[in-house]
A and B are shown apart, each in its own frame.
Chain A
């Protein structure tokens, strides 16, 4: 399973765009990149998933360069309610069981 590295924490202000980068140098051919968001006292929630290039949904965008050794989660115009922990996961979605690769995540603090 590919190991991921993310910044421990980030600060931002309301209305700014936030980019969180995740490194996964050992990503395998069949691996997908998935991001989750976790609020205090709640379980993680799926945000976005991609394999290569760019993926966009109503919540975020995910940028994946051609070599796929990193990915960047982009949150447009954050609000206070976006304060949470963001986890980057890399794994083969066909095999089941994302094991220990949630890691510590990135704690995003959005200030007024």
Chain B
């Protein structure tokens, strides 16, 4: 597709269940980012991928959170044993290779996956 695609758009789950959130970046974008946005708050960085590698996982809030990326394309953010404080919108963004001359720093965001933990 033309833009970053995220699924599901909405997910309601029970406390203690695992959830998987998917991100399809723009074709050709080697960099991929996950952010979390709580209601009325700014964006909180979670993790960054360059290709299939994650050089920066510093934002993952706990070991219940993990992410992977395959084929330098799709990424999955997994939250295990969900807690109510995990309720938020999870945003994915992609960009061109940050080290490339064509890179302007522009991040292209998806519409997000809204997670509600009951």
Q: Which residues of A contact B (CB under 8 A)?
A: 32, 34, 36, 41-46, 49, 87, 91, 93-100, 102-105
Interface residues on B, range: 20 to 34
Q: B9: nearest residue on chain A (CB-CB)?
A: A41
Is B62 among interface residues, defined by CB-CB distance under 8 A? Answer: no
Residue picked from B43, B58, B91, B95, most chain A C-beta under 10 Å: B43
A-B pairs with beta carbons under 8 A, tally:
73
Is B19 among interface residues, defined by CB-CB distance under 8 A? Answer: no
* Given A94-B99, A96-B98, A97-B45: A43 and B104 interface contact (C-beta under 8 Å): no
CA distance A61 to B103 in the complex (A): 21
Q: A100: nearest residue on chain B (CB-CB)?
A: B45
Q: Which residues of B contact A (CB under 8 A)?
A: 4, 31, 33, 35, 41-45, 48, 50, 55-56, 58-59, 91, 93, 95, 98-99, 103-112
